[in-house]
Copies of this chain bind each other. A is one copy, B any other.
Amino acid sequence: MLAHTVQLRIFDTDMVGHCHHLASAQWFEEARNEIFEMFNPQMTKEDWNLLLVRIEIDYRAPIQFSEREVEIRTWISHLGKSSLHAAHGVYLKDGTCAALGGAAMVYFDLQNQRTVPIPESIREKLLPHLDPDCPYHMSAKK
């Protein structure tokens, strides 16, 4: 499991009074930086090699701006031949899980525009975070 803290921004909130549903989606993407780095250590756009193919998010509790910061926990919930699922949760200071979701990605050769198998060297970096018992699994193995 990867843990990452993000500070809330007023920009994250909406008129209903708490964080907007797309704030979680932005935090989840920031949390995936650690995964992106396993695939592309220099994080350059020229070598980008992951395509996002699906996202899902369940909202469970409102997130108040006064919370100040939230913890994003990230797991690998599925590791296929050329695809993987990241699972993410938003956790409040009192332990409440405010949102759970996932992102399906495929390893992609942008130059040749095709999906390719994830090499063993990257699988080794991902495997310690693979957790079949993590709290969220995507609805479909795309």
**Residues of A that sit less than 8 Å from B by CB:** 7-11, 13-18, 20-22, 25-26, 29-30, 33, 36, 42-45, 48, 51-59, 64-66, 68, 139-140, 142
Which B residues are CB-close (under 8 A) to A55? 21, 55-57
The winner among A14, A22, A29 for most chain B CB atoms within 10 A is A14
Q: A26-B22, A140-B139 are in contact. Are A45 and B7 (CB under 8 A)?
A: no
Which B residues are CB-close (under 8 A) to A56? 54-56, 139
Which B residues are CB-close (under 8 A) to A59? 51-54
- Consensus secondary structure, chain A interface: mixed
Cα–Cα distance between A44 and B8 once the two chains are bound (Å):
13
Cα–Cα distance between A64 and B15 once the two chains are bound (Å):
9
